[in-house]
């Protein structure tokens, strides 16, 4: 699940000191909000889809999404990818491909 939205000053945490020029630069761009959709069964036995925002996901799923972009970039260019310790913090089912 990917949603596009325009940033605004509310999207920036208050604790960050951001200059006016940086805020204005981001106001003309888009932010992609990435999430997942889990399939489940309601109490009535009906199949349902439940959207999750990325902050609600496990550390392993977050790590998978962090690494997916660089992995796909490397592999799409035909380079060899050697990664030691990929099983650390990544859900085992996400490693099967």
Statement: residue 5 has pLDDT above 80: no
46, 75: one domain: no
Beta-bridged to residue 37, according to DSSP, are 51
Terminal Cα distance for the chain, rounded: 20
52, 67: one domain: no
pLDDT tens figures, 22-54: 767 777 777 778 888 999 999 999 999 999 988
Residue 64 CB coordination number (10 Å): 19
3, 36: one domain: yes
44, 6: one domain: yes
Domain that holds residue 16: 1-56
Statement: residue 75 has pLDDT above 80: yes
52, 69: one domain: no
47, 86: one domain: no
Beta-bridged to residue 47, according to DSSP, are 41
74, 93: one domain: yes
The total domain count for the chain is 2
């Amino acid at each position: 699940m990917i949603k596009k939205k325009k940033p605004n000053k509310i999207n920036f945490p208050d604790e960050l000191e951001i200059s006016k020029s940086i805020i204005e630069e981001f106001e003309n761009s888009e932010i992609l909000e990435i999430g997942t959709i889990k399939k489940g069964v309601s109490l009535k036995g009906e199949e349902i889809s439940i959207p999750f925002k990325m902050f609600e996901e496990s550390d392993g799923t977050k790590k998978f999404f962090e690494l997916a972009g660089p992995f796909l970039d490397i592999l799409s260019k035909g380079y060899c990818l050697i990664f030691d310790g990929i099983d650390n913090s990544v859900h085992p089912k996400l490693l099967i491909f």
